[in-house]
Structure 1
Amino acid sequence: MKNRFKGKFRQIKKPDKERSSVRKDNSKRTAFFVWLLIIGMLFIATVSILLSINTRSTLNESNQSIEARENEEVKEEIPHASANEFLSSFVREYINVPNESAALDERAKNIKEYMVFNEAFNDDRNPLYNLDGVSGTRTLETFNLFNIEDKGDVSLYQYKVTFKNQVEREVEKEVKKGKKKEVEIETETEEKENTLLLNIPIIYENGLFSVSAIPYFTKVPSLAGNIEYEKETIGLDEYNGNEKENIAVFMNTFFEKYSTESIEEMAYLMEEPQTLNGSFLFEEISDLMVYIDGGNYKVSLEVIFRDELTNIQQVNQVEMTISKNGNNFYVEEFNYI
């Protein structure tokens, strides 16, 4: 019975499940992923462009920086001490002009050694070397470096020079000999001194110098100016107490020692010892003003020294900060103003 039931059960087949002919709509999902992909690609492209622009800008800045450094390296900084040494010899050769043919030829040869190497200055006919019609001499008296101007590739060195021009002339003079007068030829020397600014343009390369153009003279400019200036006032309360007289006594004692004593002795009276060590004699102080400066005193005064030999006086204004310990004063700060 049981076996018969099993047999019937095996004979019953489970019907196949029919698949639905209606498919699920995935278009929205597909469109979403497509747009997401497009947006992502646009984002990556934008970021790439920005990074490219930034990289190019950085690269350009780096290249400009490198070029600037290279340009700086190309233009060597002129060592002024060496340039002055070079030009000191040139100034002597240039200013000194003899009145003798062989000496003029030697001068021209020497000056040529200082000039740049080009067609103009290699030509012996250059006016720099030929001084036609010379009838006197020019002699250098003094010179000193006045100013330096940077003009790009060329540096202009200006020297204040004083030179003397001399011309010898033959003149006829009547000379009395006994009762007769005779005419004799005498030589007279006419002199004229000039002080001018000698302007010398030079170039510099690999530790060497050359004069790049013919030097020229200009008037020496004045360096004095009407510059308004008021000394800063001491913003402290003035002191007129009992110690003012004691401070005045100390000031006289201090400057007596300051003018004559050694540094070692002055160390007992001041924080940073100074001394004139006998160069001047102390004469007097004047215009003494005392102010309260915290726990110390600020002192402003005029001190007069005098040279013992010539009696020439030296007047200076001084500001000092002094402290007091017991009955003793001590100079904490000392300044000429």
Structure 2
Amino acid sequence: MRKRLNKSGTSKDGLLKTAIEIFKRANENEKRKKEIRIREKKSRPKGYRAKKLGAFTFWLLFSFMLLIVFVNVFSSNGLSNAVTEGDEAELNKATSAEGIEFAKSFLVTYFNWNVDNEKRSDRIGRLGRYLPDTLSEEAVTGGSKWNSTLTRESIVLKDIDNLGDSKALITFQVKVLFQSSADNNQTEDKAKSAPEKVKADKYIAVPVFYDEEENRFIVYDLPSFTFVEQEKIDRTIALETDGLKSVTDGSTQNIKAFLDTFFEAFSTDSKDKLTYLVEDPKHQNGLNQTMNFVRLKNTEIFEGKKAEEKVVRTEVILAEPDTGIEFTSSYLLVLAEKEGRYTVLYINNKSYIDELKNKKHEEEIEVTEGRELHKEDDPEEE
């Protein structure tokens, strides 16, 4: 019996010693791992955290862009489904460019008549191509004194009201010329007098309907006269160059001298000669002698995307060749200095300015992030 108890006690002591040894070893391993982590933090090369943050930022942006792509794809599918279901707000053809042109054609017919040599029935027939039969006769103006003239160039679009159900109310400003007829220009001695003329400035709303079954537009009701107040614009719109960094060094004089030469050539030289000055393919024909260069005024110069590129906004005085009448025009140029001379990369190119502003913004973000990354925390605190 005693032998059994001794054996049992010895076995328990052995297990306890083994457990203590395992615990000590595990504790020592944890201490070694902690020391290794501390040494690794101290031995990390400069910029290690920046690289890790950069990698994290890249994958975060990549995931965000992937999410946007998925959202756009599913949104497009949803939009397609909505279109197939007949979204009137998006597909009201009465508000389309074709509907506007149809309404203009109607107004040309509506405001053009000659009581001297045109029968009333003829005018009713012409209006019948736009109006229902029940309205064509009502649309014909009565009276025999005045003739009316309206050119398509004298019609200005002012407003489009989408009424839904393939209907729209399109408002125009029209400049109509009323002139007394020949029969009314007779004096008592039968001699013809000069016709009376009245220039009228009117606002008129045309109700347009698109008939899908007949695939045609219709003026479904008589037009209505209205008035649109022409308010004075009393605020300034931000220019494309707002926010760009100005150039004030000695290069400004050379640039201004180049601009004088350039606009002189731009107004008078042929395409072959302008090729040496203008790289923008959209503007290599210049002004083709349709306007003469007079002088520059209010020239501003800004930094471009590269050190050798400059953005210039300038006002140019141009004169009409036959009359000498002067006009002031604004030009936005992108210049590049190559081999000691300037060329024009772009003229009135908004895309370049947008890319330039985005580049400057990204550079500012990088500078800010760089400053934050240089504020390294103590390794023990991490």
TM-score normalised over the length of structure 2:
0.52
Shift of 1:164: 0.7
Specify whether residues 326 and 84 from structure 1 end up closer, same or farther in structure 2 by C-alpha distance, changes over 3 A only: closer
User: Could you say what secondary structure the match of 2:120 adopts?
Assistant: helix
Shift of 1:228: 2.8
How many Å separate the matches in 1 of 2:293 and 2:145? 54
Please tell me whether residue 107 in structure 1 is matched to residue 116 in structure 2: no
Matches for 1:14-163 after TM superposition, within 5 Å: 69-72=84-87, 77-78=93-94, 80=96, 82-83=98-99, 86-88=102-104, 90-96=106-112, 99=115, 103-112=119-128, 114-116=130-132, 121=134, 127-128=138-139, 131=142, 134-143=143-152, 144-146=155-157, 147-153=159-165, 154-161=167-174, 162-163=176-177
Whose RCO is larger (CA < 8 A, sep 6+)? 2
Cα RMSD, aligned residues only: 4.1
The residue number in structure 2 matching 1:202 is 208
Can you give the 5+ residue segments of structure 2 that lack an aligned partner in the other structure? Answer: 1-79, 351-382
Return the match for 2:233 from 221, 225, 232: 225
Shift of 1:272: 1.3
Matches for 1:164-313 after TM superposition, within 5 Å: 164=178, 166=180, 190-206=196-212, 207-219=215-227, 221-222=229-230, 225-231=233-239, 232-233=241-242, 235-241=244-250, 243-272=251-280, 274=283, 275-293=286-304, 294-296=306-308, 298=310, 299-313=312-326
User: Could you say what secondary structure the match of 1:323 adopts?
Assistant: strand
Shift of 1:169: 5.5
Give CA-to-partner distance per residue, 1:211-261, whole Å, 9 cap, x none.
2212222235427533333434453253333x4443333333323322222
Give CA-to-partner distance per residue, 1:62-87, whole Å, 9 cap, x none.
xxx97984444897624845445644
CA contact (8 A) 1:145 1:157 kept: no
Return the match for 1:327 from 340, 351, 355: 340
Count of aligned pairs: 255
TM-score normalised over the length of structure 1:
0.58
User: Could you say what secondary structure the match of 1:247 adopts?
Assistant: helix
Can you give the 5+ residue segments of structure 1 that lack an aligned partner in the other structure? Answer: 1-64, 174-183
Identical aligned residues as a percent: 22
User: Could you say what secondary structure the match of 1:248 adopts?
Assistant: helix
User: Could you say what secondary structure the match of 1:105 adopts?
Assistant: helix
Larger Rg: 1
How many Å separate the matches in 1 of 2:252 and 2:118? 78
